[in-house]
Structure 1
Amino acid sequence: MEKIPESSSKGKKRQRDQEDSEPKSIDLDQTLSLEESLTFSDTLVALRIMRAQFPRIEKVSVQPFILRSQLYSSVEDRTQVDRELESLRREKIVRIFKLNTGQDDHAIMFLDDYLNQIERVVKRLEEKKQGDLEVFKWFRTHVIDSKLEPSIGHQELHTLLSLGGKVMDGHLSILINAGLLTRQLIDPNMYWFVIPNVGSVLKGLSQGRKEVLSLLNRKRYKEMMLASMEKKRLRFSPLDMRFHLRDLIGSGHLKTAQTSTGLVVRVAKD
């Protein structure tokens, strides 16, 4: 079974408590079908299983992430999801990112996965023998550890980085060019935290959504059996069908219905 990241002693206790109450039959690997792992009673359990089921993406080095919409598809009470996500964020078990998709999309990534993603960026820059990499240590130690929200103001960012050393304008450019920060369009003095290397995946996310909906809209009743749908391969997205189905169900574009032969997924009526 894949090792799941833990980021604090409090987080470890929470995870142990969760594992004690988790059904022993749950196996966090790719063998679970979507129908077998569609709904959960706990947000952390859903996050752990979706992390384990994150598709392997060729040519793109990105750690597993989960969309908030996917959690909404899996945990019936959305208020519970938001409350438990907030708790996990404050406990520094996960980080939440606003995605640049043109929609109100948010990604959740386990903190250890996010730190590993940053390490890969730094290692790549080291191999290219690019200097001034000390800013990444300041960023990890002073910014990420204390600023838990999805965005940060210019002055606060500068102040926190200054705890590590003398900050120059070039340091901020390094963080932006490395894909760790992006300026907000509405307020250029505010930055969004970004998952490095996620850009091409987000393009596939948008294209995959359109492809899945188009596939169902071509069906006579705009529906298919979930088990059959899950087996189909997508042409325009590096993410798999299971990833997209969770997202579209949670965002309300698709609905499921139980039948005598299994779950049916259909396009939601406007």
Structure 2
Amino acid sequence: MRSQFPKIEKVVVQPFILRSQLYSSVKDRTQVDRDLESMKKEKVLRLFKLNTGQDDDAIMFMDDYLKQVATSVKRLGTKSQQEMQVFEWFERHIIESKLDVSINHQELLSLLSFGGEVKDNDVTLLINAGLLTRQLIDPNMYWFAIPNIGTILKGVSQGRKELLSFLNRRKYKEMLLAPLEKKRLRLSPLDMRFHLRDLIGSGHLKTINTPTGLLVRVSKY
């Protein structure tokens, strides 16, 4: 799935996979969750909570995430030595040791201070670089974030709606997979395969074997 991540013009984002997409390919969801947890502890990958209106988890390989962080720092165009140090501390003392999807303010400052003296605007710097986002419910908590992912997140949400709306307008709310995969979505930069895996894994769509091929149908909730 990583190798099949769509190439998107003008957006520099390393490939990521949604947990729901894994569920579409591996029937045993408990095993998926267990394996992800184990790979997270081994620092092979990182998990991120997405603010797409559903309980979505993005999965990114650690090497890809570190590349994404480096790109984000470059884009910020920071020149001062102090600012560059903050990013180094973040990489060395936080990415390496804090593997959860979130971190509280005190722990953030405490881990950063292993690098040196931490100032309030150092946290702002990390937020501006897209590495952290404040939680709305508790302003003392931050989500770890994938920088520069805004356009794609919008595409994930809009693509879901567009695909479900398209199928819901069809007579039996279904279509054969092969011709459906060839269709393009207007509101998402991601390809049809990305959205189909997501919606099948999250249970919004189901697949049925028929003599003419695999059929995709809207699930009845």
In structure 2, what is the Cα distance between the partners aligned to 1:219 and 1:264?
Answer: 13
Deviations 1:106-148 (A, max 9, x none): 100000000000011122234x646622111000000000000
Answer 1 or 2: higher relative contact order, Cα 8 Å, separation at least 6: 2
Match of 1:107 in 2: 58
For residue 178 of structure 2, give the secondary structure of its aligned residue in structure 1: helix
Which letter maps to 1:147?
K
For residue 133 of structure 1, give the secondary structure of its aligned residue in structure 2: helix
Query: Is 1:188 paired with 2:171?
Result: no
For residue 175 of structure 1, give the secondary structure of its aligned residue in structure 2: helix
Match of 1:236 in 2: 187
Instruction: Could you list the structure 1 runs, at least 4 aligned residues long, displaced by more than 6 angstroms after superposition.
Output: none
TM-score by length of 2: 0.97
In structure 2, what is the Cα distance between the partners aligned to 1:138 and 1:130?
Answer: 15
Which letter maps to 1:101?
T
In structure 2, what is the Cα distance between the partners aligned to 1:233 and 1:244?
Answer: 11
Match of 1:36 in 2: none
Question: Equivalent of 1:208, from 153, 156, 159?
Answer: 159
Query: Is 1:197 paired with 2:148?
Result: yes
Query: Is 1:87 paired with 2:38?
Result: yes
Match of 2:202 in 1: 251
In structure 2, what is the Cα distance between the partners aligned to 1:124 and 1:97?
Answer: 21
Q: Give the alignment of 1:24-103 within 5 angstroms.
A: 50-103=1-54
Question: Equivalent of 2:211, from 260, 266, 270?
Answer: 260
Match of 1:30 in 2: none
In structure 2, what is the Cα distance between the partners aligned to 1:253 and 1:211?
Answer: 13
Gaps of at least 5 residues in structure 1 are 1-49
For residue 2 of structure 2, give the secondary structure of its aligned residue in structure 1: helix
Identical columns (%): 72
Question: Equivalent of 1:222, from 173, 179, 189?
Answer: 173
Question: Equivalent of 1:133, from 84, 95, 106?
Answer: 84
Residue 228 of structure 1 and its aligned partner are, at CA, apart by 0.8
TM-score by length of 1: 0.80
In structure 2, what is the Cα distance between the partners aligned to 1:223 and 1:64?
Answer: 29
Residue 185 of structure 1 and its aligned partner are, at CA, apart by 1.0
In structure 2, what is the Cα distance between the partners aligned to 1:65 and 1:51?
Answer: 6
Deviations 1:83-108 (A, max 9, x none): 00101100100100000112111100
Gaps of at least 5 residues in structure 2 are none
Residues matched between the structures, number: 220
Match of 1:176 in 2: 127
Q: Give the alignment of 1:150-169 within 5 angstroms.
A: 150-169=101-120
For residue 269 of structure 1, give the secondary structure of its aligned residue in structure 2: coil
Q: Alpha carbon RMSD of aligned pairs, Å?
A: 1.0
In structure 2, what is the Cα distance between the partners aligned to 1:151 and 1:142?
Answer: 15
Which letter maps to 1:59?
K
For residue 121 of structure 1, give the secondary structure of its aligned residue in structure 2: helix
For residue 209 of structure 2, give the secondary structure of its aligned residue in structure 1: strand
For residue 182 of structure 1, give the secondary structure of its aligned residue in structure 2: strand
Deviations 1:205-248 (A, max 9, x none): 11000110011111111111111110001100011100000000
